[in-house]
Amino acid sequence: MYDQFYGLQGRPFQLTPDPHFYFESATHRKALSYLGYGLAQGEGFIVITGDIGAGKTTLVGHLMNTIDPQRLTAVKIVSTQVEADDMLRLAAQSFGLAVDGLAKAQILRQIEGFLHAQARAGRRSLLIVDEAQNLPISAVEELRMLSNFQLGGQSLLQIFLLGQPEFRDLLKSPELEQLRQRVIATHHLEPMMASEIEPYIVHRLSLVGWTCNPHFTDDAFAAIYAATDGVPRRVNALVSRLLLLGAIEQLGALDGHAVQAVMADMGIDEAEPEAVAPSALDAVVEGAEARPVVDVPARNVEAIAAVPADEIAPPALLEEIAALRVEIASLRAAQAHVAMTPSVDPEALKDCFTLIEERLSSLEARAQEQDTALRRVLTLLIDWVEREERMAAAA
């Protein structure tokens, strides 16, 4: 209904995960970095956890859309509290193997043969297991056994495990000590920051032909964040109902009062929105801190050295951002009390904000350059590992 009223080409806030609407928040960017690092290693387990509605499934869908099928065969299964043997059958069927009625030993031989054929064809194999928190220990152990398949000292199968936070508790079980030793990276998807709510909503609306109708006010974004804590699925549910209300009431602008009305209708307790909108510094600092720190093998030093040194932001960048954060907090406090403090010149405060915003723009550009450089390093690592694999195979 609301899509027709506002002239949208689809419904951008459906609750069903859709990788087409993937939004790269700071925490999702970090998760992708870990997944990319894992792919470069070509072995072991990567564990991604997140609360319900954090965007794990959408993240995986986006990853699979970006994978080159000529280089990597990736399949995904969603666990439903299956036991070890059923997990083995699910994995085999995901790779397109016919295993109905076969004994476990025969299934294992089929999987091993398939993985060997993929390796000989120059393709690596990736198994993604979603909702891993539903798996019993026996099924998780079966996955570890699958990771034992090797050819020429190289692992034939890499596994990504995604689940809710309780999956981390499952991994702490004494029975899974061997699997824990094979986990090469983990990341927990956090909710979006307050400064990411507006870009998130605008991003999804823009994909369906939004032309700023309806218009969202600043207090609407603040109220949406306060009501949802930045959890993507909660944001989707609330904004979808908000657009429906706008269509029924024929509203051209959606403000904080409209959000409060929808919250009352949905039975969501009212939350006090933040009095001051987050600074752009929040996104910059989060992006700077979100880079995974990994141990790079010495054989890849030459590849990393090929990246221009000036593209890597110096440590002083974070110190400068922290100083600007303090200065902005001080200026905001002065601005809030300007009416009671005649000695403070409002125009002078305005000039200070202008200078700081210009400096922030410069820092954001440098942070983007750093992100580009790190992604380039990751690409070099992947190419380096694959080249060594080809040389080893030729030898």
Q: Is 26-189 a domain of CATH 3.40.50.300?
A: yes
pLDDT tier for residue 291 given thresholds of 50, 70 and 90: very low
The pLDDT value recorded for residue 208 is 92
Q: Which of 68-77, 87-96, 178-187, 288-297 has the lowest mean pLDDT?
A: 288-297
pLDDT tier for residue 248 given thresholds of 50, 70 and 90: very high
The pLDDT value recorded for residue 185 is 86
pLDDT tier for residue 159 given thresholds of 50, 70 and 90: very high
pLDDT tier for residue 289 given thresholds of 50, 70 and 90: very low
Q: Answer whether residue 324 shows pLDDT above 80.
A: no
The pLDDT value recorded for residue 353 is 61
Q: What is the mean pLDDT of residues 242-247?
A: 92
The pLDDT value recorded for residue 345 is 53
Average pLDDT, whole number, for the chain? 79
Alpha helix positions (H), the chain: 2-5, 26-41, 56-66, 84-94, 104-120, 137-146, 166-171, 177-180, 197-206, 218-228, 232-249, 256-266, 280-289, 301-305, 316-336, 346-394
Rank 22-26, 310-314, 319-323, 354-358 by mean pLDDT and report only the highest: 22-26
DSSP-derived 3-state class of residue 188: strand
Are residues 221 and 181 in contact, defined by beta-carbon separation less than 8 angstroms? Answer: no
Residue with the larger pLDDT of the pair 224 and 306: 224
Q: Which of 100-109, 155-164, 385-394 has the lowest mean pLDDT?
A: 385-394
pLDDT tier for residue 380 given thresholds of 50, 70 and 90: confident
Q: What is the mean pLDDT of residues 277-289?
A: 39
Are residues 379 and 322 in contact, defined by beta-carbon separation less than 8 angstroms? Answer: no
Q: Answer whether residue 348 shows pLDDT above 60.
A: no
Q: Which of 74-88, 232-246, 266-280, 320-334 has the lowest mean pLDDT?
A: 266-280
pLDDT tier for residue 95 given thresholds of 50, 70 and 90: very high
Q: What is the mean pLDDT of residues 64-74?
A: 86
Distance CA 56, CA 276 (A): 30
Q: What is the mean pLDDT of residues 264-292?
A: 50
Q: Phi first, then psi: what are they for 340, rounded to 5°?
A: -95, 0
Residue with the larger pLDDT of the pair 48 and 37: 48
For 310-314, the CB contacts below 8 A with 24+ separation are 311/369, 311/370, 311/372, 311/373, 311/376, 312/370, 312/373, 313/288, 313/366, 313/367, 313/369, 313/370
Q: Which two tokens stand for residue 147?
A: 């990771």
Q: What is the mean pLDDT of residues 287-298?
A: 39
pLDDT tier for residue 188 given thresholds of 50, 70 and 90: very high
Q: Which of 54-63, 193-202, 303-312 has the lowest mean pLDDT?
A: 303-312
* H or E element that contains 75: strand 72-78
Q: Which two tokens stand for residue 17?
A: 């995960």
The pLDDT value recorded for residue 33 is 86
